[in-house]
Amino acid sequence: MLKFIKGHMESIDGIAIYPMISLLIFFVFFVVLFLWVFTASKEHIKKVSKIPLEED
């Protein structure tokens, strides 16, 4: 099954750009997430961390 998919994908012109685009999206997402985590205010983190413990 994998050989069929690989052979089919190799026949498509310009297919090599898609793995690079997906890697770029993956990298950018985690860099932005990393920056958000380190720049978030302590008050916001405390407020969000208490949400599961609140009772209605």
Alpha carbon distances (Å) from 54 to 38, 41, 47, 50: 25, 21, 11, 7
**Do the beta carbons of residue 9 and residue 15 sit within 8 Å?**
yes
The model's pTM? 0.60
The number of CA neighbours under 13 Å toward the Cβ of 43 is: 0
What are 1's two structure tokens?
Answer: 């099954």
Q: How do residues 6-16 score in pLDDT, each as one tens digit?
A: 777 777 788 78
Q: Give per-residue pLDDT as tens, 2-51.
A: 777 777 777 778 878 888 999 999 999 999 999 999 999 999 989 989 99
DSSP string computed for 30-56: HHHHHHHHHHS-HHHHHHHHTGGG---
pLDDT at 23: 94
Q: What is the per-residue pLDDT for 35?
A: 96
Tell me what pLDDT residue 1 has: 63
